[in-house]
Amino acid sequence: MYVILLGLPGAGKGTQAALLKNETGLAHVTTGELFRENIRLGTALGKKAQPFVESGRLVPDEITIGMLLDRISQPDCARGCMLDGFPRNLEQARALDEALAGDGKRIDRAIYISVATGKLVRRLSGRWSCPNCGAVYNEISLPPKTPGVCDNCGFQLEQRKDDRPDAVRTRLEVNLKNLEPLLDYYRAQGKLCEAPGEGDVEDVTRAVRACLEGEH
C-alpha cells in the first residue's frame, strides 16, 4: 500500500508516520532522508541532486521521483510506505502517478491531516530561544517559567524572524496554495481521506489509522 501524507507544516505528518510505522509495517519515506541517503551512498541520482541540495535550490522532480522509485522497491517497503514531503504540488503528483504506472504501481490513498491555519500559526510561532545558552522554548508545549526569560541563565529570550507569527502565516499561505489543488486531485480519484489533526496526538493517530484501514 502506497500512501501519501498531506498536510501543512506543523500538522504532525512526521510524528504520525513515526508512530504508525511499526504498527502498520509501512515504511516512512521522507524526501529529506532520500536526498541524504543518496548523497551519502554516492548514487548516480545522489550526485545529480547534491549541487541543488548544497545550494538550497529545489531538486528537479525527475531526480526526486527516481529516488522515490528506488526507495519503494527496497525490502522495508515490501508492505508499502508512507510518503512524506512529496508531492508538494499538482505537477509533481501527476509526474509521480505516471512514473509509478510505468512500474505497475499506484498510490492507494492520500491522507490529509487537517489543522486550521490559525492553530498552526500558534503552534509554529511559539518558538523562543536563548541567545546566551541556546536553550529552546515553546510558548505552548515548553514555556519558560517566566515569560521571555531563560530558565537556565536568566537571559532575555529571542524569537527568530522566521518564527514570528506574520512570517509563519505567510509561509503557511504559500503552502496552502499548493496543497489545495493536490487535495482536489486525490479527492477526484476517490483516494483522499481527511484525518482531523487538532486533537491530542493519540486522537490524531486514531484518525490516521482509520484512514489507513479504509474508512472514509
Which residues sit at the interface with Zn ion, rule CB under 5 A? 130, 132-133, 135, 150, 152-153, 155
Q: How far is the CB of 140 from Zn ion (least distance, A)?
A: 20
CA-angle at 25, arms to 19 and 27, nearest 5°: 75
Catalytic option among 79, 160, 177, 206: 160
The answer to whether residue 169 is catalytic is no
Nearer to Zn ion, 44 or 136 (CB): 136
Q: How far is the CB of 143 from Zn ion (least distance, A)?
A: 14
CA dist 122 → 13, 15, 65 (Å)? 17, 18, 33
Nearer to Zn ion, 131 or 199 (CB): 131
The answer to whether residue 94 is catalytic is no
Catalytic option among 21, 171, 187, 191: 171
Q: How far is the CB of 159 from Zn ion (least distance, A)?
A: 14
Catalytic option among 21, 36, 48, 88: 88
The answer to whether residue 171 is catalytic is yes
Burial of 78 (0-12, 13-18, 19+ CB in 10 A): exposed
β-pair partners for 155: none
The answer to whether residue 127 is catalytic is yes
How far is it, in rounded angstroms, from Cα 141 to Cα 176?
25
How far is it, in rounded angstroms, from Cα 24 to Cα 81?
9
The answer to whether residue 79 is catalytic is no
Q: Which residue has cell 491530542? A: 200
Catalytic machinery residues:
13, 88, 127, 160, 171
